[in-house]
Chain A
Amino acid sequence: MENTINLTLKVWRQNGAKDKGRFETYSLENISTDSSFLEMMDVLNEQLIGEGKEPVAFDHDCREGICGMCSLYINGRPHGPDDDVTTCQLHMRKFKNGETITIEPWRSAGFPVIKDLIVNRSAFDQIIAAGGYTSVSTGGVPDANAIPIPKPDADEAMDAASCIGCGACVATCKNGSAMLFVSAKVSHLALLPQGKVEAARRAKNMVAKMDELGFGNCTNTGACEVECPKGVSISNIARLNREFLKAKLAD
């Protein structure tokens, strides 16, 4: 009992970082409502290849919502019109027959477009490199059960650690702020005794790197939390501010 729908797609095409870019309009027919959004994109690309045109470039990989690679801005929302999903988990049953769907890349100063719908998110790696780790090398560490960790702390750290680094928080923020991303990492590690040791230093270094890379400030609109596919909470931002303040006071 397969249902199918017909769609009009307005897709952002941009041939390289220097190209100005434009929307192109495509028609698609008989898309199964059981297929995922990216499978619909596959069908579009097969159609374009058949016509001898260049397919639309978009980032995707695991297609099960965990790698954080997919990054489409669909009808004005990062990861499209469903809650707690990445684009690859969005299914066509969320769309109506005859609907026009607008598909854009993440748009943010921190994420320059590489081609079509693909952006460069290496700024996130640079922020992690600035301090998003515990400074331990391989070997010579204590037994895993040497330090008991209260279950609520471990659970809360896990929730913060579930960030997949997709960048939806930045894409949806009117300021282009990376505070949810940074605060999730700062919280994850600060909540655990292993990470607490250098919590202040970490917060300071990661925030400094974020500022340096051109991300905007946080004005507490909360949009990031709404669009986060993993439900990372903005309470992490409050914790980051506390850690950051502590670090500044210590200076």
Chain B
Amino acid sequence: MKLDSKIPEGPLAQKWENYKAGQKLVNPANKRNLDVIVIGTGLAGASAAASLGEMGFKVKNFTIQDSPRRAHSIAAQGGINAAKNYPNDGDSVHRLFYDTVKGGDYRAREANVYRLASVSNDIIDQCVAQGVPFAREYGGLLDNRSFGGAQVSRTFYAKGQTGQQLLIGAYQALMRQVNAGTVEMHTRTEIVDYVIVDGKARGVIARDLVTGEFSRHFGHAVVMATGGYGNTFFLSTNAMGSNGSAAIKAYEKGAAFANPCFAQIHPTCIPVHGEFQSKLTLMSESLRNDGRIWVPKKKEDAEAIRAGKLKPTDIAEDNRDYYLERRYPAFGNLVPRDVASRAAKERCDAGFGVGTTGLAVYLDFKTSIERLGENTIRARYGNLFQMYEKIVDDNPYETPMMIYPAIHYTMGGIWVDYELQTTVPGLFAAGEANFSDHGANRLGASALMQGLADGYFVLPYTIQNYLADDIRTPRMTGDEKEFVEAEKAAKAKFEKLMSIKGNRSVDSLHKELGLVMWDFVGMARNKKGLEEAIEKIAAIKKEFWTNVKIPGSSEGMNVELEKASRLADFITTGDLMARDALNREESCGGHFREEFQTEEGEAQRQDDKFAYAACWEYQGEDKAPVMHKEDLTFEVVKVAQRNYK
């Protein structure tokens, strides 16, 4: 496998300009004859499909939901970063770039991150033109707030519903193209495989989730933008339907999977309440602007709280340990997510946790309410407070919230070059689905930025460069042998699942996988545990393929069959994550190996050995994948231990 990152020549700040100046273009008459398949309608997929449609390409867009507006980008709460420097607080494209590389613990590709930062401002302009109702000051100009890992205020927001508003903006642009006839929308349709012709991605096999019927679709190029694989853990902040299957299918067709072990544990989620819990709800990181995180200083107070004998409001100020402010005075409650999550785990493991389980810490707004008044806090976070109250039945204006870390986002994903092209020619990956920009840890409010950057401002250029060589390639009918065989194989897989007729429900197996992942491939990992995880995952795989129980038939709608097919891919993902975590003998970002930490318990990278992206190549069913390295070189950023003290 050849990994050519195709980074353009020239100084960092000029690379994207140089690329665009030298790239190939497709004239309008030819665009009409070129088909692009886009899988997914989240921020990356919808923005790519809409933009490509506007340019005149013929686009087919697929989503598993009933409407493109449901994609999980919609749940992002806090905001989107951009280097506008409207607050005049010292921000710039360079600083946003630098913060992102540093925040990612120096495991991302400089050139990609610089481009991300440089198009960030265009995104804000675009969204405002679409009518995204960002928060404004009384003067009528846009408001900003600060987020973890930054010392400037560069985050634009729309109440606590920024993802929703950005997605609706992209969705509306997309529906405008549907109306114009440039985009053909397929809802409640899942992509179950890719079609490769002469080494190039030329189409997909789709399964209609309502009828159970399969169909073949041709595209001169295919874009996959199907999000991350956090649901490997069963419990995560992802939506129930979020899955990594389109990524695993790409991997099985020859696309390298990069850094699968880089998963982000978000520090501020509502703690687990019981065994029937289906998902974990995130409380936006923006809350850390005004909320202070603490646990009791005395173990006996923590014990009394757990036993229900004391309330958090009974604990005097002097007996509270604001541990983030104590350990990281420079960034305080706004340290990056990986640091905040580990610090919470450290306190809870040491016996200072609260809640009935002891696996929770407080996020307290008392100081801010005293300083700013309840109305200001309500205006900033009203919907989040309401969400919390509905779930937990506690009023966070009066008593502190309880939070605990949970799986939230996956930085790893399908390897892409500078053009966002995978190792399969003609197959592109965008948004969370690729590994491109966040290294080992993503900063808050950067996921929305990356999804929209890829879809609005990167792919429309780079895909043209690819398609320019395809203007003489006629459309295929879908009856070619490659299409027929791919459909046959996909059908056979679904029939195989139906034929098992075992005793275990899909969810029971998924929960078992999730527990293994959380215990051994979660917030703290070690060699022995990871080796054990690989064995346990293999056992779950065997159990799944011999004992899963799927009622009903493969015809018509069958939700359990959909879930089973996704779980088969989560099992593959889990194995890949454990292998990657085992290989990476260092701690960086969201990947914490207990063997590699400083005396103070901070993550310790091994730059001499692991300054690379680990790219895994599929070798076949039940064969260990082979790892290839893309070495990361830093020409501009000075690599150092991250210091938020």
Interface flags for B518-562 (1: CB within 8 Å of A; 0: not) read 000000000000000000000000000000010110001101100
A42 contact from B131, B161, B278, Cβ within 8 A: B278
Residues from chain A with Cβ under 8 Å of B122 in the complex: 139
Q: How many residues of B contact A (CB 8 A)?
A: 82
A99: interface (CB < 8 Å): no
Asked if A69 and B560 make an inter-chain contact with CB atoms under 8 angstroms apart, the answer reads: no
Interface flags for A216-237 (1: CB within 8 Å of B; 0: not) read 0000000000000000000000
A67 contact from B74, B141, B552, Cβ within 8 A: B74
Interface flags for B149-173 (1: CB within 8 Å of A; 0: not) read 0000000001101011100100111
Residues from chain A with Cβ under 8 Å of B457 in the complex: 138-139
Q: Measured between alpha carbons, how far is A1 from B307 in the docked complex, in Å? A: 10
Q: Measured between alpha carbons, how far is A129 from B86 in the docked complex, in Å? A: 34
Asked if B135 and A154 make an inter-chain contact with CB atoms under 8 angstroms apart, the answer reads: yes
Interface flags for A76-89 (1: CB within 8 Å of B; 0: not) read 00000010110001
A66-B161, A143-B125, A161-B133 given; A151·B140 CB < 8 A:
yes
B164 contact from A38, A63, A66, Cβ within 8 A: A66
Asked if B129 and A38 make an inter-chain contact with CB atoms under 8 angstroms apart, the answer reads: no
Asked if A89 and B390 make an inter-chain contact with CB atoms under 8 angstroms apart, the answer reads: yes
Interface flags for B500-531 (1: CB within 8 Å of A; 0: not) read 00000101100000000000000000000000
Minimum CB–CB distance for A167 against chain B, Å: 10
Interface flags for A154-195 (1: CB within 8 Å of B; 0: not) read 110110011011000000000000000000000011001011
B158 contact from A50, A55, A91, A158, Cβ within 8 A: A158
Instruction: From B159, B172, B460, name the one whose CB has the most chain A CB atoms within 10 angstroms.
Output: B172
Asked if A34 and B67 make an inter-chain contact with CB atoms under 8 angstroms apart, the answer reads: no
Chain A contact surface mostly: loop
Of A5-13, A113-121, A240-248, the one with at least 4 CB within 8 A of chain B? A113-121
A49-B549, A61-B240, A68-B69 given; A142·B135 CB < 8 A:
no
Asked if B559 and A122 make an inter-chain contact with CB atoms under 8 angstroms apart, the answer reads: no
B445: interface (CB < 8 Å): no
Residues from chain B with Cβ under 8 Å of A65 in the complex: 387, 390
Asked if A61 and B70 make an inter-chain contact with CB atoms under 8 angstroms apart, the answer reads: yes
A30-84 contacts to B, CB under 8 A, are 32, 34-36, 38-39, 42-43, 46, 48-50, 52-55, 57, 59-69, 82, 84
Asked if A128 and B551 make an inter-chain contact with CB atoms under 8 angstroms apart, the answer reads: no
Interface flags for B119-142 (1: CB within 8 Å of A; 0: not) read 000101111111101111111111
CB nearest to B66 among chain A residues: A121
A59-B66, A63-B281, A165-B69 given; A129·B178 CB < 8 A:
yes
Asked if B70 and A151 make an inter-chain contact with CB atoms under 8 angstroms apart, the answer reads: no
A215: interface (CB < 8 Å): no
Asked if A39 and B168 make an inter-chain contact with CB atoms under 8 angstroms apart, the answer reads: no
Instruction: From B128, B141, B142, name the one whose CB has the most chain A CB atoms within 10 angstroms.
Output: B128
Of B196-204, B269-277, B297-305, B637-645, the one with at least 4 CB within 8 A of chain A? B269-277
A1-37 contacts to B, CB under 8 A, are 1-2, 15-16, 32, 34-36
Residues from chain A with Cβ under 8 Å of B140 in the complex: 148-151, 154
B456: interface (CB < 8 Å): yes
Instruction: From B129, B137, B159, name the one whose CB has the most chain A CB atoms within 10 angstroms.
Output: B129
A110: interface (CB < 8 Å): no
B279: interface (CB < 8 Å): yes
Minimum CB–CB distance for A228 against chain B, Å: 14
Asked if A49 and B164 make an inter-chain contact with CB atoms under 8 angstroms apart, the answer reads: no
B66 contact from A49, A69, A91, Cβ within 8 A: A69
A16-B556, A144-B124, A188-B133 given; A125·B68 CB < 8 A:
yes
Minimum CB–CB distance for A207 against chain B, Å: 16
Q: Measured between alpha carbons, how far is A135 from B50 in the docked complex, in Å? A: 12
CB nearest to A32 among chain B residues: B274
Residues from chain B with Cβ under 8 Å of A128 in the complex: 171-172, 175
A43-B276, A194-B130 given; A69·B70 CB < 8 A:
yes
A91 contact from B51, B159, B393, Cβ within 8 A: B393
Q: Measured between alpha carbons, how far is A77 from B190 in the docked complex, in Å? A: 32
Asked if B276 and A49 make an inter-chain contact with CB atoms under 8 angstroms apart, the answer reads: no
A93: interface (CB < 8 Å): yes
Interface flags for B248-275 (1: CB within 8 Å of A; 0: not) read 0000000000000000000000000110
A154 contact from B129, B134, B278, Cβ within 8 A: B134
CB nearest to B52 among chain A residues: A138
Minimum CB–CB distance for B143 against chain A, Å: 9
A130: interface (CB < 8 Å): yes
Minimum CB–CB distance for B67 against chain A, Å: 5
Asked if B505 and A49 make an inter-chain contact with CB atoms under 8 angstroms apart, the answer reads: yes
Asked if A64 and B75 make an inter-chain contact with CB atoms under 8 angstroms apart, the answer reads: yes
Asked if B65 and A69 make an inter-chain contact with CB atoms under 8 angstroms apart, the answer reads: yes
Asked if B129 and A194 make an inter-chain contact with CB atoms under 8 angstroms apart, the answer reads: yes
Asked if A67 and B278 make an inter-chain contact with CB atoms under 8 angstroms apart, the answer reads: no
B356: interface (CB < 8 Å): yes
Asked if A82 and B179 make an inter-chain contact with CB atoms under 8 angstroms apart, the answer reads: no
Asked if A64 and B387 make an inter-chain contact with CB atoms under 8 angstroms apart, the answer reads: yes
Residues from chain A with Cβ under 8 Å of B393 in the complex: 91, 93
A42-B276, A138-B126 given; A151·B239 CB < 8 A:
no
Q: Measured between alpha carbons, how far is A189 from B45 in the docked complex, in Å? A: 23
Residues from chain A with Cβ under 8 Å of B161 in the complex: 66, 162
Residues from chain B with Cβ under 8 Å of A122 in the complex: 66-67, 187
A61-B70, A194-B128 given; A138·B557 CB < 8 A:
no
B406: interface (CB < 8 Å): no
Residues from chain B with Cβ under 8 Å of A63 in the complex: 239-240, 278-279, 281
Q: Measured between alpha carbons, how far is A43 from B511 in the docked complex, in Å? A: 14
CB nearest to A209 among chain B residues: B179
Residues from chain B with Cβ under 8 Å of A64 in the complex: 75, 279, 281-282, 387
Asked if A136 and B130 make an inter-chain contact with CB atoms under 8 angstroms apart, the answer reads: yes
Asked if A66 and B75 make an inter-chain contact with CB atoms under 8 angstroms apart, the answer reads: yes
B372: interface (CB < 8 Å): no
Asked if A35 and B164 make an inter-chain contact with CB atoms under 8 angstroms apart, the answer reads: no
Residues from chain B with Cβ under 8 Å of A121 in the complex: 66-67
Minimum CB–CB distance for B445 against chain A, Å: 16
Q: Measured between alpha carbons, how far is A50 from B506 in the docked complex, in Å? A: 11
Minimum CB–CB distance for A229 against chain B, Å: 10
B278 contact from A36, A54, A85, Cβ within 8 A: A36
Asked if B129 and A142 make an inter-chain contact with CB atoms under 8 angstroms apart, the answer reads: yes
Minimum CB–CB distance for B487 against chain A, Å: 24
4 additional A-B pairs beyond A84-B386, A121-B66, A144-B125, beta carbons within 8 Å, are: A69-B65, A133-B131, A157-B133, A161-B165
8 interchain pairs (CB within 8 A)? Answer: A68-B69, A121-B66, A133-B172, A134-B129, A136-B129, A138-B47, A158-B158, A161-B133
Which 10 pairs between the two chains have the least Cβ-Cβ distance? Answer: A148-B140, A133-B172, A141-B129, A158-B133, A129-B175, A137-B54, A144-B128, A129-B179, A138-B51, A61-B239
